[in-house]
C-alpha cells in the first residue's frame, strides 16, 4: 500500500491530489484540491503565463494542506510525490516541480516527474478501475491529441495532434466572437443547447481523403465562424452558431478517435482533458463508440480538467510497476514529448 | 540555531547552511536558466557536506527578490514547501538587503552603499543603504540612466550587486550570500507572509476590439 501525493501546475490550475495504491494496483482517490486562477485571466481572454505562475506560488502550500486535511493524513504518511514535469507553460510548471522536489526531500520520499498527458489517461483508473489497452483522445485548451496507450506506466504512442489551435482554444476564440465569457467551453455548451446544430454547415478540418488521418486543425473552423458572424452584420443567432460550431468540433474529434481505435485494434476509447466536459462531445462519443462496438471511458468532469489527482494516479501506477524515481535535478520541460511518461 | 538560506533572485543559485550566524556549508552555482534544476541538489549537497539532515533545520531564510520572476519563484516555493513539510518558519528577506549586509559585515563603509542587480529589459533593481546597512531607499526598478540621475543625492561611496559596474563607485560583493541572508532575517520574530518582491505587474493587456477576418 502506497500513498502518493500529486502536484499539477502546467497551466492555470494549482492541483494537489492524493491517492492510495493498494497491492491490487487500482488507485483509490483520497483528495483532489484545486485552486484556479481562471478568473484572473478572464479579462485577458486567455491564460497569461505570468499571472498563472504568480498564482501557483501563492496557492501551492495551502493546496497541499487542504489535500492532506481532506485525506485525513499528514506529510509523514506520504510515500511518494509525483509532479507534472511537462508539457505545459514553462514558468507555471517550474513552480510545481520545485515544490514537489522540496516536499519529496523534506519527507525523504521518492519523486516522480511525470507527463501531463499520460496523467490525463491514468486518472480514469481511480473512477473506473483497471484500463485495458486504449485509444486516448485528449482535448483541452492546450492539447488535442490521439494517443495509443497499451499500458499506463509504459510508453505512449502519439498518433496525431492538432496542427494549429487546440480544441479548447477554438472554443475560447469562438466564445469571444459570440460575446460569451472566458473560458468559452461551458458557455458554448450552454448556448448550444438552445440552438440547431445543423443550422450552419461549418467545415470539418483535415477530413479530406488526402489529409493527415489522425491530426486535427481548428484554425480554419474558427475563421469560418468569424466570417459567418461578420457576414450577418449584427443580429447573430448565437445559439445556432454555438451549436453548429460545437457540432463541427465534436464530429471531427469523435470520427478520428473511433477510426484510430479501429485501425489500431483497440477496443476501448478514453476521452480526457477539459473539453471532455462538453456534453455534446460526451454524447456523440458514446453514440459512435457504441455503434462501432467500442467501450467508451470518460472520467467525471472534475477529473477531466487539470488536477492533481491525475498526477498522483499516474505516479501511483509508476510506483506500483517499480519505475525508477526521478532525481532532484530534473527540469520542468514545457515541450515534454508524450513518449516520455516519466523523467 | 541551524538555518538554511536560499536565494534565486540573480543568475546565482545559492544555498547555504548557517549555524548561529556562521556559514558551515555553501553552494553557489551560476546559470540564469537552470534555477529549477540546480537548487534542490545544492540544498542536498550542503546538508551532506555539513552532515545534517533537513529535519534538523530550525528555520529557512529565502531571498524574496527583487529578481527575474521565473527564477525567483524557484527559491520562494522551495523555501515555502520545505518550511511547510518540516514544520519550521520561513523568513522572506529582500535579496538586496542581504547583499548590503554582507558588504557591511566585511568592514565599515565611510558613506552610503548602492546595491544594483539585473532586472532585464534594460532596467535594474536597486536600493541604497547607510554605512551600517540600514536601507535608505528602494527597492526600485528603473533604467540605469534614471538611477544615475539620482546618484548625487544618495552620497554613495560603494556599489555592490551583479550590475554594480558603471556607476563610478568601488565595487563589492555581487550576489546574496547565505550569511547575508540570515543576517537580515528577523529569526526571533514570527515570519510575515512570504511575498515575492516583483516590483512589476505582469505585462499583459486586455485585448482590444477583435480584428475582422474578412475585408
Do residue B51 and residue B132 come from a single domain?
no
Distance from CA of B33 to the nearest CA of A (A): 10
Does any domain span residue B67?
yes
Does any domain span residue B212?
no
CB contacts of B36 in chain A (<8 Å) are 94, 97-98, 331-332
For chain B, what is the domain count? Answer: 2
Q: ipTM of this model?
A: 0.96
Measure the CA–CA gap between B172 and A256, rounded to whole angstroms: 64
Question: Residue A99 — pLDDT band, cuts 50, 70, 90?
Answer: very high
Does any domain span residue B148?
yes
Does any domain span residue B53?
yes
Do residue B88 and residue B122 come from a single domain?
no
| Structure-model confidence comparison of residues B10 and A233, the more confident one | B10
Q: Tell me, what's the pLDDT at A234?
A: 80
Residues 66-95 of B with CB under 8 A from A: 69-70, 73-74, 76-82, 84-86
Task: Please write the tens of the pLDDT for every residue from A218-272.
Answer: 999 999 999 999 999 889 999 999 999 999 999 999 999 999 999 999 999 999 9
Share of chain B above pLDDT 90, in %: 91
Judged by CB atoms closer than 8 Å, whether chains meet at B44 and A105 is answered as yes
Mind listing the domains of chain A with CATH numbers? 2-129+303-321 (3.30.420.40), 134-301 (3.30.420.40)
Does any domain span residue B207?
no
Does residue A317 carry a pLDDT above 80?
Answer: yes
Judged by CB atoms closer than 8 Å, whether chains meet at B84 and A64 is answered as yes
Residues 181-200 of B with CB under 8 A from A: 196, 198
Do residue B80 and residue B8 come from a single domain?
yes
E strands, chain A, in order: 2-8, 13-21, 28-36, 80-86, 111-115, 134-139, 144-149, 157-161, 268-272, 295-297
Does any domain span residue B30?
yes
User: What does the DSSP 8-state code read for residue A241?
Assistant: H
Do residue B38 and residue B85 come from a single domain?
yes
Mean predicted lDDT score pLDDT of chain A: 96
| Residue of A123, A129, A117 whose CA lies nearest to A25 | A129
Does any domain span residue B100?
yes
CATH number at residue B68: 3.30.420.40
Do residue B155 and residue B103 come from a single domain?
yes
Mean pLDDT of A185-212: 96
CA A62 remoteness from chain centre: 23
Distance from CA of B196 to the nearest CA of A (A): 9
If you write DSSP's letter for every residue of A271-327 in order, what string do you get? EESGGGG-HHHHHHHHHHHHHTT-EEE---HHHHSS-HHHHHHHHHHHHHTTPPPBP
Do residue B26 and residue B108 come from a single domain?
no
Q: What is the dihedral of CA A239, A241, A245, A248, to 10 degrees?
A: 100
Do residue B6 and residue B41 come from a single domain?
yes
| Residue of B9, B181, B180 whose CA lies nearest to B103 | B180
Q: Tell me, what's the pLDDT at A331?
A: 98
Does residue B209 carry a pLDDT above 80?
Answer: no
Does residue B215 carry a pLDDT above 70?
Answer: no
What range does the domain containing B118 cover?
Answer: 96-160
Does residue B213 carry a pLDDT above 80?
Answer: no
Report the residue from B37, B202, B214 with minimal CB separation from A331: B37
Measure the CA–CA gap between B135 and B133, rounded to whole angstroms: 6
Mean predicted lDDT score pLDDT of chain B: 95
Task: Please write the tens of the pLDDT for every residue from A287-305.
Answer: 999 999 999 999 999 999 9
Is residue A30 annotated as involved in ligand binding?
no
Do residue B43 and residue B90 come from a single domain?
yes
Task: Please write the tens of the pLDDT for every residue from B100-147.
Answer: 999 999 888 999 999 999 999 999 999 999 999 999 999 999 999 999
- 3-state SS, A249-279, equals HHHHHHHHHHHHHHHCCCCEEEEECHHHHCH
Measure the CA–CA gap between A160 and A162, rounded to whole angstroms: 7
- Residue A217 · residue A162 · CB < 8 Å: yes
- 3-state SS, chain B, equals CEEEEEECCCCEEEEEEEECCEEEEEEEEECCCCHHHHHHHHHHHHHHHHCCCHHHCCEEEEECCCCCHHHHHHHHHHHHHHHHHHCCCEEEECHHHHHHHHHHHHCCCCCEEEEEEECCCCCEEEEEECCCCCEEEEEEEECHHHHHHHHHHHCEEEEECCCCCCCCCCECCCCCCHHHHHHCCCCCCCCCCCCCCCCCCCCCCCCCCCCCCCC
Do residue B43 and residue B74 come from a single domain?
yes
Mean pLDDT of B193-203: 94
- Residue A301 · residue A32 · CB < 8 Å: no
Do residue B26 and residue B80 come from a single domain?
yes
Do residue B84 and residue B7 come from a single domain?
yes
Report the residue from B79, B210, B214 with minimal CB separation from A227: B214
- Mutate: best of A69, A106, A202, A221, partner B, most B CBs <10 A: A106
Does any domain span residue B199?
no
Does residue B214 carry a pLDDT above 80?
Answer: no
Is residue A189 annotated as involved in ligand binding?
yes
Burial class (CB in 10 A: 0-12, 13-18, 19+), B191: middle
Mean pLDDT of B139-164: 96
Do residue B13 and residue B63 come from a single domain?
yes
Kindly list the strands in the beta sheet with B156-160, ordered across the sheet, starting from the edge strand earlier in the chain.
B135-142, B124-129, B112-118, B156-160
CATH number at residue B111: 3.30.420.200
Q: Side-chain half-sphere of B22: how many Cα atoms within 13 Å?
A: 3
Does residue B204 carry a pLDDT above 90?
Answer: no
Distance from CA of B172 to the nearest CA of A (A): 31
Amino acid at each position: 500500500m502506497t500513498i502518493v501525493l500529486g502536484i499539477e501546475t502546467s497551466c492555470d490550475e494549482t492541483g494537489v491530489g492524493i491517492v492510495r495504491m493498494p497491492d491490487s494496483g487500482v488507485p483509490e482517490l483520497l483528495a483532489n484540491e484545486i485552486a484556479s486562477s481562471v478568473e484572473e485571466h478572464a479579462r485577458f481572454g486567455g491564460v497569461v503565463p505570468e499571472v498563472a505562475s504568480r498564482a501557483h506560488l501563492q496557492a501551492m502550500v495551502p493546496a497541499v494542506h487542504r489535500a492532506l486535511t481532506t485525506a485525513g493524513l499528514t506529510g509523514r504518511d506520504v510515500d511518494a510525490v509525483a509532479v507534472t514535469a511537462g508539457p505545459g507553460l514553462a514558468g507555471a510548471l517550474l513552480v510545481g516541480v520545485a515544490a514537489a522536489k522540496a516536499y519529496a526531500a523534506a519527507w525523504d520520499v521518492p519523486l516522480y516527474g511525470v507527463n501531463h498527458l499520460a496523467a490525463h489517461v491514468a486518472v480514469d483508473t481511480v473512477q473506473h478501475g483497471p484500463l485495458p489497452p486504449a485509444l486516448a483522445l485528449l482535448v483541452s485548451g492546450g492539447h488535442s491529441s490521439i494517443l495509443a496507450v497499451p499500458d499506463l506506466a509504459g510508453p505512449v504512442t502519439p498518433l496525431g495532434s492538432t496542427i494549429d489551435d487546440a480544441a479548447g482554444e477554438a472554443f475560447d476564440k469562438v466564445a469571444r466572437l459570440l460575446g460569451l465569457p472566458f473560458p468559452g467551453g461551458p458557455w458554448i455548451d450552454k448556448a448550444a443547447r438552445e440552438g440547431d446544430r445543423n443550422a450552419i454547415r461549418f467545415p470539418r478540418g483535415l477530413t479530406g481523403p488526402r489529409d493527415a488521418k489522425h491530426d486535427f486543425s481548428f484554425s480554419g473552423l474558427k475563421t469560418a465562424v468569424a466570417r459567418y458572424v461578420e457576414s450577418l452584420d449584427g443580429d447573430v443567432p448565437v445559439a445556432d452558431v454555438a451549436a453548429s460550431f460545437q457540432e463541427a468540433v465534436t464530429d471531427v474529434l469523435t470520427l478520428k478517435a473511433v477510426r484510430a481505435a479501429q485501425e489500431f485494434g483497440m477496443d476501448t476509447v478514453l476521452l480526457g482533458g477539459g473539453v471532455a466536459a462538453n456534453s455534446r462531445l460526451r454524447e456523440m462519443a458514446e453514440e459512435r463508440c457504441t455503434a462501432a462496438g467500442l467501450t467508451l471511458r470518460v472520467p467525471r468532469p472534475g477529473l477531466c480538467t487539470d488536477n492533481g489527482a491525475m498526477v498522483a494516479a499516474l505516479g501511483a501506477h509508476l510506483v506500483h510497476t517499480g519505475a525508477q524515481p526521478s532525481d532532484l535535478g530534473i527540469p520542468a520541460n514545457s515541450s515534454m514529448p508524450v513518449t516520455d511518461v516519466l523523467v | 540555531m541551524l538555518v538554511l538560506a536560499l536565494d534565486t533572485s540573480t543568475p546565482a543559485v545559492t544555498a547555504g547552511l548557517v549555524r548561529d550566524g556562521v556559514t558551515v556549508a555553501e553552494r553557489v552555482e551560476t546559470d540564469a536558466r537552470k534555477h529549477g534544476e540546480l537548487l534542490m541538489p545544492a540544498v542536498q549537497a550542503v546538508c551532506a557536506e555539513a552532515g545534517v539532515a533537513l529535519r534538523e533545520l530550525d528555520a529557512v531564510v529565502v531571498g524574496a527578490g527583487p529578481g527575474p520572476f521565473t527564477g525567483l519563484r524557484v527559491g520562494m516555493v522551495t523555501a515555502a514547501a520545505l518550511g511547510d513539510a518540516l514544520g519550521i518558519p520561513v523568513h522572506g528577506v529582500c535579496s538586496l538587503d542581504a547583499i548590503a549586509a554582507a558588504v557591511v559585515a566585511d568592514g565599515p563603509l565611510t558613506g552610503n552603499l548602492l546595491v544594483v542587480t539585473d532586472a532585464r529589459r534594460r532596467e535594474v533593481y536597486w536600493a541604497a543603504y547607510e554605512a551600517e546597512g540600514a536601507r535608505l531607499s528602494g527597492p526600485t526598478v528603473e533604467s540605469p540612466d534614471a538611477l544615475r540621475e539620482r546618484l548625487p543625492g544618495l552620497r554613495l561611496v560603494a556599489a555592490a550587486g551583479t550590475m554594480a559596474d558603471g556607476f563610478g563607485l568601488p565595487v563589492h560583493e555581487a550576489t546574496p550570500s547565505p550569511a547575508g541572508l540570515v543576517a537580515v532575517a528577523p529569526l526571533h520574530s514570527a515570519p510575515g507572509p512570504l511575498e515575492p518582491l516583483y516590483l512589476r505587474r505582469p505585462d499583459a493587456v486586455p485585448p482590444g476590439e477583435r480584428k475582422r477576418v474578412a475585408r
